[in-house]
Amino acid sequence: VKRSIQTLKTTLRGILDTGTTSRSHCLPLLEFGFNSVRNESTSMSPFELDIGYIPREPASVATMRRPRSSRVPEVERFLDSLRENHALAMDRLQLAQGRQARPFNKLHRADPFFQVGDRVML
């Protein structure tokens, strides 16, 4: 529970730091993501406990091959929004990985290189 709350705080902080004026559209996606993650204690997600399976993620819908066109303009706008959010999330993940790699690499040495015949202490 403690880890889940920390993850939610971190995610909400990231949403709030985006500087966009309308953040409420992110909350359903955040809720969906939280309900899709398996809990360590139960080995099941809240969705699995509630409805018996994990529904398809909005991101998988957003990255599906696009049909010719929808007859409902609101659906098109929603899918476009999902695609934009997915692309933004991928960019931010790459930036976060770079930020996390620098301190990790400072603390970890490269693996030593040994050649056949080198003496090593075991």
For the whole model, what pTM was predicted?
0.43
57-71 residue pLDDT tens: 766 665 666 656 667
Number of H helices, E strands in the chain: 5, 0
What Cα–Cα distance (Å) separates residue 113 from each residue in 13, 64, 95?
43, 45, 31
15-64 residue pLDDT tens: 666 666 566 777 777 788 788 888 777 788 888 888 888 887 766 665 66
Work out the pLDDT band at 116, boundaries 50, 70, 90. Answer: very high
Share of the chain above pLDDT 70, in %: 80
